[in-house]
Amino acid sequence: MQEKLLKNIAIAMALVLIACVSFFFVAERASSTQSNMATIKSLDDKAETVLKLTATATLASIGISAIPDDTATPIADKLTDFVEYFLLILCVLYAEKYLLTLLGAAAFKWLIPIACVLGIVSLFWKPHITRRLATKLAVFGLAIFLTIPLSINVSDKIYESYQGSINETISVTEDFTEETAPLTEASDKNIISTILKTISETASGLSEKASRILNRYVEALAVMIVTSCIIPILILVFFIWLIKMVTGIDLSDRFPRMPGGPKPPKLKEGENKA
Is 14 inside any structural domain?
Answer: yes
What pTM value is reported for the model?
A: 0.77
| Residue 274 pLDDT | 38
Is 269 inside any structural domain?
Answer: no
Is 64 inside any structural domain?
Answer: yes
Could you give the number of structural domains in the chain? Answer: 1
Q: How many CB atoms within 10 Å of residue 112?
A: 25
Print the domain residue range for 145: 2-250
Give DSSP secondary structure letters for the chain.
Answer: -HHHHHHHHHHHHHHHHHHHHIIIIIHHHHT-TTTTHHHHHHHHHHHHHHHHHHHHHHHHHHHHHTSGGGTTHHHHHHHHHHHHHHHHHHHHHHHHHHHHHHHHHHIIIIIHHHHHHHHHHHTTS-HHHHHHHHHHHHHHHHHHHHHHHHHHHHHHHHHHHHHHHHHHHHHHHHHHHHHHHHHHH--SHHHHHHHHHHTT--HHHHHHHHHHHHHHHHHHHHHHHIIIIIHHHHHHHHHHHHHHHHH---GGGGSPPPTTSPPPPPPPTT----
| Residue 193 pLDDT | 54
Is 206 inside any structural domain?
Answer: yes
Is 273 inside any structural domain?
Answer: no
What whole-number distance in Å separates Cα of residue 10 and Cα of residue 120?
10
| Residue 174 pLDDT | 92
Is 79 inside any structural domain?
Answer: yes
On the 0-12 / 13-18 / 19+ scale of CB atoms within 10 A, 80 is middle
Is 267 inside any structural domain?
Answer: no
Is 261 inside any structural domain?
Answer: no
| Residue 271 pLDDT | 47
pLDDT tens, N- to C-terminus, the chain (274 residues)? 677 888 888 999 999 999 999 999 999 898 888 888 989 999 999 999 999 999 999 999 988 887 776 777 888 899 989 999 999 999 999 999 999 889 988 999 999 999 999 999 988 887 777 888 888 888 888 888 888 889 899 999 889 999 999 999 999 999 988 887 776 665 555 455 555 555 545 567 788 888 999 999 999 999 999 998 899 888 888 877 877 776 666 655 544 444 555 555 554 544 444 3
